Amino acid sequence: MTKKRRLAIISDFHLDSNHFSIEEIELFISLLNDLQITDLHFAGDISNDLHNISEPFFHQLESLTDLSVTFNLGNHDMVELSEEEISVSNFKVKTFASTAFVSFHGWYDYSFMKEKVDFQKIIAFKNSFYFDRKIHRQFDDIKTTAIELEKLENLLTELSAKPEIERIIVSTHFVPHQQFIINTRYEKFARFNAY
Percent of the chain with pLDDT over 70: 85
CA-based nearest residue to 195, from 109, 78, 130: 109
Distances (CA, A) of 171 to 53, 101, 115, 134, 156: 22, 8, 27, 24, 12
Grade residue 194 by pLDDT with cuts at 50, 70 and 90.
low
Identity of the residue numbered 84: E
Evaluate if residue 51 carries a pLDDT over 70: yes
119: Cα separation from own chain's centroid: 24
Q: CA 124 to CA 151: how far, in whole Å?
A: 28
Query: Could you state, in order of their start, the residue ranges of all structural domains in the chain?
Result: 7-194
- The per-residue pLDDT for 175 is 72
- The per-residue pLDDT for 192 is 60
Q: What is the mean pLDDT of residues 118-142?
A: 79
Write the pLDDT tens digit of every residue in 18-46. Answer: 999 999 999 999 999 999 999 999 999 99
Q: What is the mean pLDDT of residues 166-170?
A: 96
